[in-house]
Structure 1
Amino acid sequence: MLKSALGLFTLATVFFCTQLSAAPILILGDSLSASYGVDEDKGWVNLLRAKLPEHEIINGSVSGETTAGGLRRLPALLESAKPELILIELGGNDGLRGFTPQQLKENLTKIITLSQAKDVEVLLSEIMVPPNYGPRYASMFSQVYKDLANEHEITLLPFFMTQIATKPELMQRDGIHPNAEAQGDIAEFILPWVKNAL
């Protein structure tokens, strides 16, 4: 009886540990996901960890990152993290530097195809540039994300800054980055999209 009980306990422990390490998630983003100007433990990625304790969430985000930089770092991240889901939040710095929509699309296409080649589920976050860049550029920029979602049959996550950027009380002084108060809202916004993708 004791051996049977120990056997069941061992199986339960293995099952429990397996559940805790289920479906690693990789966040590949820029300053919006790298807790710029906010304590890392208060950033939305860390808050998302608390909401999904059974998943390991690896934050591969770097402030100032472009799609080209994310593409260069991706192979090593895929190898080390071995994620089952990648959330791509890149492109803002491409827009701020005036890169062409074609450059944006080429880099994001490579990021998506590299991820899919490793059987990683892709969740792509839409990115929008400030209106002062002109309606034509802004429209072409935004269209890249819609086209990629259709062409690669992946889920497009609406830009999580859309509702936050219009509220000064949720923004840092630079008018670009969300403050600490906004991080919880971002985590809540992203949570169902991640759950559905998994």
Structure 2
Amino acid sequence: MEKLAKIEKTIEVVKVDNKEITIINNFLDSDEINAFYEYVSDLSFVKKEKDDEYDEYPIFSVDFIPEEFINDTFIGIKIKEYLQSINMFDQFLLYRSSINMSHYGDVEFPHYDCPIDRKDITVLLYVNNKWDYKWGGETLFYESHDSKAAVLPKPGRLVIFPGNIEHLGGVPTRICKASRFSLALKFAYIK
């Protein structure tokens, strides 16, 4: 069987509220996407993930031990190596690693991953091995309670953004029969 040509990473930076959101397309190759998707599809999810303490509509999620995830999984190691290559890793400490699963009919709310005065970052990896743009599910980023950027959950796409940007993980549209999976790594700024 002939192997497909490797697709190069492309990096796009958008600004919301003068803060950079870095979007890395093709962060994973197709074999990595499929392997991680198969792994995630077999996990046992619990309906507990809330956008804030007042959220009455939790979605399904699964948590990992942060240190083990970043050091012992091929996805964690690849993200760590990338953050090291751009001189970001040593400035942050991973304190939470989880995968969220949402479906049509779920509810998500705009939220922050850290207080406004913090310099923490969030790294999102879209896990699905296929995604049609008609299925929606975009991550929306807000400035002054108005949407300013939308990022489609394309397979293998990595997004790095300050945790103090208000955002929302969009739910799939009615025509989507697939679960929407996203890996969320939350890093506290320590320097």
TM-score clears 0.5: no
Q: TM-score, normalised by structure 2?
A: 0.29
Higher helix proportion, which one?
Answer: 1
Higher strand proportion, which one?
Answer: 2
Q: TM-score, normalised by structure 1?
A: 0.28
Flag the structure with larger Rg.
1
